[in-house]
Amino acid sequence: MSDIIVSPTVEDVIISPATVDVIVSTIGIQGPPGIVIPAMPTVAGVVYGLTEEYIQNANTALGELALGSNQDGTNNLAVGTQALENNISGHANTAVGLGALASVQTTDSNTAIGETAGANTTGYGNVFIGYAAGHNETGNNTLYIANSSTSTPLIKGDFSAQTLTINGQLTAYIDGGSA
């Protein structure tokens, strides 16, 4: 069985200075002994100002304006309209949801899952789960699990201090019985 290799280069992708409607680029597939997909970007959606630097930085974006301002950021994942929209040089951020981590420009290692989760964060190493969770958090290494932009989420943590706060009643069951 022969190897199958599909690997367009940056030169194979037409990039206009205006709007790029749909781009799915630079995916390599190699046959036996295994499948190899190199650390290259994949983009689908409407993106403005897409540059060659964007294409070379191992980012993945799916959605209108997702990673739309990226210049030097690497290894970012943005799924959803305006996810990581204003990222310029942040690295290793993961944003899933409309406007998730939308205002992040230069910070690293944030994870946000949910519409507008972590949208205005300026910190690094944060984890936001839920609609608008950590929407306005400016600290570092925090955990928010919430379904609103509250500053007192149901669960809030500080990875640096190794603390966890439960804002509400906590019930624990031991071996299937009650607490």
Query: pTM (2 decimals)?
Result: 0.73
pLDDT value at residue 60:
87
Computed over every residue of the chain, the mean pLDDT equals: 78
> Could you state, in order of their start, the residue ranges of all structural domains in the chain?
41-171
Residue 62 reports pLDDT greater than 50: yes
Q: Please confirm whether the linkage preceding 33 is cis (ω < 30° from 0).
A: yes
Which of 81-90, 109-118, 156-165, 168-177 is the least confident region?
A: 168-177
Confidence check: pLDDT of 13 > 70: no
Residue 28's pLDDT is 42
What is the distance between the terminal CA atoms of the chain, rounded to a whole angstrom?
60
User: What mean pLDDT comes out for the span 83-93?
Assistant: 95
130-144 confidence digits (pLDDT tens): 999 999 999 999 999
82 or 58, higher pLDDT: 82
* Cα(117)–Cα(145) distance, integer angstroms: 10
Q: How far apart are CA 73 and CA 65, in angstroms?
A: 15
Q: Does pLDDT of 40 surpass 80?
A: no
Tokens of 49: 């100002």
Sheet architecture: strand order including 60-62? 42-44, 60-62, 77-79, 94-96, 111-113, 127-129, 142-145, 155-158, 163-166
